[in-house]
Amino acid sequence: AQSVTQPDIHITVSEGASLELRCNYSYGATPYLFWYVQSPGQGLQLLLKYFSGDTLVQGIKGFEAEFKRSQSSFNLRKPSVHWSDAAEYFCAVGIYGNKLVFGAGTILRVKS
């Protein structure tokens, strides 16, 4: 069955430090992959998506993610974190039937 694993429930980084959020998926076919961010009290906003082509994708707010088929991973990165990046981040895989399967989320805290 399809599934998405985000191994880190909470991550704390210092402002200005680099960030990597991990995501592993299980899906039998070539996946469509998404990262969403949820700021406190807000809905989900799409950061970036991967459908095909270049395995390094750029998103909004300075985020990027790399698709690695051999590792079934789609990790999210940012070179320098800002305090406003504190939020919950969700990785999702798009499967047949227009469905998104989400991971459990990673809560990012930023230390000043």
Nearer to other proteins, 5 or 15 (CB): 5
- Residue 70's SS3 state is helix
The structure tokens 């999702």 sit at 92
Give the pairing of strands 10-14 and 106-111: parallel
Cβ(36)–Cβ(89) below 8 Å: yes
Nearer to other proteins, 49 or 77 (CB): 49
Whole-number Å distance between alpha carbons of 63 and 46: 11
Which two three-digit tokens encode residue 40? 């406190």
Cβ(44)–Cβ(61) below 8 Å: no
Task: Enumerate binding residues for other proteins (CB under 8 A).
Answer: 4, 9, 31-32, 34, 36, 42-46, 49, 90, 94-100, 102-105
Nearer to other proteins, 54 or 97 (CB): 97
